[in-house]
Amino acid sequence: MPNFAGAIQKAIDKVASIEGFGANVTIRYITAGSYNTSTGAISESNSDVVVKAVFEDVNMREVNELIQAEDKKITISGDAVTTKPTTKDKVLISNIVHNIIRVLTKTAGGVDISYTLYLRT
C-alpha cells in the first residue's frame, strides 16, 4: 500500500505545480500562547508556510449547515506541510485572510496524501 500512496502523492504534487492549476497560498498555523490576566487576552504566535494549492468551487451537493455556496475550496498535498491544518489555522490568498471551516483528509496506507480545505473570508 505505501507504493500506491506514493504514486498518488506524486500525482497530486504534479497537478498542484502545473501553471494554471496550482497557485501559491500561505497556510498560517496559529498556536495559542499564555493568558494575560491584565488584558484578559490570550497571546498567539503564527507560523507561515507557502504551498501550492489547487482551487475548486464548492459543489452545491456540499452545501449544508456548515458549508456555504460562496465558500472556497483548495486542495494541498500532504507532503507540502509537516502539520495537518486545522480549523484554528488560517489561509492567506492574495493577502486576504480566510478561515478554515472544514478539513478533509485523503489517506492511503496510513499516509496523509492530501488535505481539502474549505475556506471562508
Domains detected in the chain: 2-120 (2.40.10.270)
Determine the pLDDT at residue 76: 92
Local confidence pLDDT in tens for the 121 residues of the chain: 456 667 766 666 665 554 456 789 999 999 988 898 999 899 899 999 999 998 988 989 999 999 999 999 999 988 889 999 999 999 999 999 999 999 999 998 888 989 999 999 9
DSSP string, 40-77: TEEEEEEEEEEEEEEEEEPPGGG-SSS--TT-EEEEEE
What's the whole-model pTM score?
0.81
Determine the pLDDT at residue 19: 44
